[in-house]
Amino acid sequence: MVDQFQFARLPLIHFGNGKLSLLPRLIRRFGTGIILVTGKNSFLNSVYSERLFDALCKEDINYHHVIIPGEPTPSMIDDSTGLFIHEKIDVVVAIGGGSTMDAGKAISAMMYRNEKVSTFLEGIGNREHPGTKIPFIAVPTTSGTGSEATKNAVISQTGKEGFKKSLRHDNFVPDIALVDPELTLNCPADITAASGMDCFTQLTEAFLSDKACEYTDALCLAGLRAIRDSLVKCYMNGDDKDARTGMAFAALTSGICLANAGLGVVHGFASSIGGLFDIPHGVVCGTLMAPANEVSVRELRKGKKDSRSLQKYAALGRLFLDEEGRQESYYIDGFLAYLGKISEELHMPGLKQYGIREKDIEAICNITEVKNNPVKLDNEALQEILSVRIR
């Protein structure tokens, strides 16, 4: 019997190598006045940007270019919308990593509102966004966040009073997700590793989530198979087009899954740490993935022996170990060992490199939310997870 579930809306998805050529035609569905949001380096320095700019000119598409140099802050969004308040904007197009797509999503939501984005941020603002927006097209150039398929834009402000919060509404799911794996070929190895571990974490946490259903489980497993077959290959050889395609599929799938099943303790840490320290989101995920799951499994094992969550951990072990005829505990422990191994293979940096010290552990854990984890974790368990990667 299939349990009841609900499923969030999806964008219109165009997936495949060479799909960037469709973008001018897709833009014209909405009009000819656009805000083009990009990062500062990767896409702009590629041959793909030259081709796109030429195609936009040929189609008489009037674009206003916004460059997002890092994770979007409230002032970046407010400044960007203020620049074009008197322009006719038909569609916002974001081409880049997760930060660029989040920025584009937020700009499309705040355009013509003449209000500050912080007013509508969860846990920061005091109002709910009505959901009105300019049409939005997301074009990822990394394989990680899955923002091309989600309804939230993550906005950050780093510092003592910092935060990492979402602007969220069902209507903010991109109208179109154009996923062209060729755009990820220029992605540097360190970003490939960090974004890939973010994707891996999202699929794993969604699979283990207490909100998971048969539908999300099936999608998670498909994405995780792609992770198994493609992530390390991408890191070792960035020109491997098949592996890049696999990771692009995994990232898109992770966005769909997290939007419907939620995330666990690792992303709770990513939110709290990301508000206090200038550290890439994927680095937090890749660094804490192994210890967080080790502690979660330990706590699950204290409970019922036939825990459904432990059965799911065993299913992950079967997937990544590709061995038959072993006991459930073997597959669970094997999966945990795999997490430690892949973090080493991808050379994930420790948290100390970003200024995080043991004295910061308590403050971080006090503001870390643990939603949808397969087992409840108290503050002591959270401190244990974090301390492993700071010492």
Query: Do 365 and 224 share a structural domain?
Result: yes
pLDDT band at 60 (very low <50, low <70, confident <90, very high): very high
Checking if the pLDDT of 389 tops 80, the result is no
pLDDT of residue 310: 96
Which pLDDT does position 305 carry in this prediction? 61
Regarding whether 235 and 133 lie in a shared domain, the answer is: no
Sign of the dihedral through C-alpha 5, 220, 165, 274: positive
- C-alpha 11: how far from chain center: 16
Q: Kindly state the helix (H) or strand (E) to which residue 164 belongs, with its residue range.
A: strand 163-168
Domain shared by 66 and 165, yes or no = yes
Nearest of 264, 260, 207, 235 to residue 343 by alpha carbon: 235
pLDDT (mean) for 289-295: 97
pLDDT, position 350:
83
Task: Tell me the helices (H) and strands (E) count for the chain, helix number first.
Answer: 13, 8
pLDDT of residue 391: 59
Cα–Cα distance measured from residue 104 to residue 167, given in angstroms and rounded to the nearest whole number: 12
What's the pLDDT score for residue 159?
Answer: 79
**b/e map 269-294, b = 16+ CB within 10 Å:** bbbbbbbbbebbbbbbbbbbbbbbbb
| pLDDT level of residue 319 (50, 70, 90 thresholds) | very high
In a domain, 2, yes or no: no
Q: Could you tell me which of 224, 4, 16 has the C-alpha nearest to residue 139? A: 16
> What is the pLDDT confidence band of residue 304, given thresholds at 50, 70 and 90?
low
Q: Give yes or no for residue 320 having a pLDDT over 90.
A: yes
> Considering the domain boundaries, does residue 3 fall inside one?
no
Which residues, 6 or more positions from 129, have their beta carbon under 8 angstroms from its beta carbon?
109, 120, 167, 168, 169
Question: Which one, of 192, 185, 108, lies nearest residue 151 by Cα?
Answer: 108
Q: Give the pLDDT score at 365.
A: 94
Tokens of 391: 């010492």
Q: How many domains does the chain have?
A: 2
Mark residue 233 as left, alpha or beta (left: phi above 0; alpha: psi -120 to 50; beta: remaining): alpha
Q: Report the pLDDT value the prediction gives residue 5, as an integer from 0 to 100.
A: 81
SS3 166: strand
Contact 148, 255 (CB under 8 A): yes
Enter the pTM of the model.
0.94
Q: What is the pLDDT of residue 282?
A: 93
For the residues 319-345, what does the mean pLDDT come to?
Answer: 95
Within 154-213, where are the H helices?
189-208
pLDDT of residue 110: 97
Q: Which of 17, 181, 33 has the alpha carbon at shortest distance from 112?
A: 33
Residue 6 in domain: no
Give me the domain span that covers residue 278.
189-388
Find the radius of gyration of the CA atoms of the chain.
20
Please compute, for residue 301, the number of CA atoms within 13 A of its CA located in the half-sphere on the CB side: 12
**Nearest by Cα to 103 from 82, 76, 131:** 76
Banded pLDDT at 141 (limits 50, 70, 90): very high
Whether 350 and 246 map to the same domain: the answer is yes
**CATH number, domain at 209?**
1.20.1090.10
Q: Are residues 196 and 177 in the same domain?
A: no
- Predicted confidence band at 318 (pLDDT cuts at 50, 70, 90)? very high
Domain assignment present for residue 29? The answer is yes
Q: Please, which pLDDT band fits residue 306 given cuts at 50, 70 and 90? A: low
pLDDT per position as a tens digit, 166-179: 999 999 999 999 99
Percent of the chain, pLDDT > 70? 99
Q: 182-209 pLDDT, tens per residue?
A: 999 989 999 999 999 999 999 999 999 9
User: Is the per-residue pLDDT at 1 higher than 80?
Assistant: no
Q: What is the CATH number of the domain that holds 143?
A: 3.40.50.1970
In-domain check, residue 134: yes
Angle at 66 between CA 60 and CA 68, to 5 degrees: 145
Contact of 266 with 285, CB cutoff 8 Å: yes
Domain match, 216 and 250 both: yes
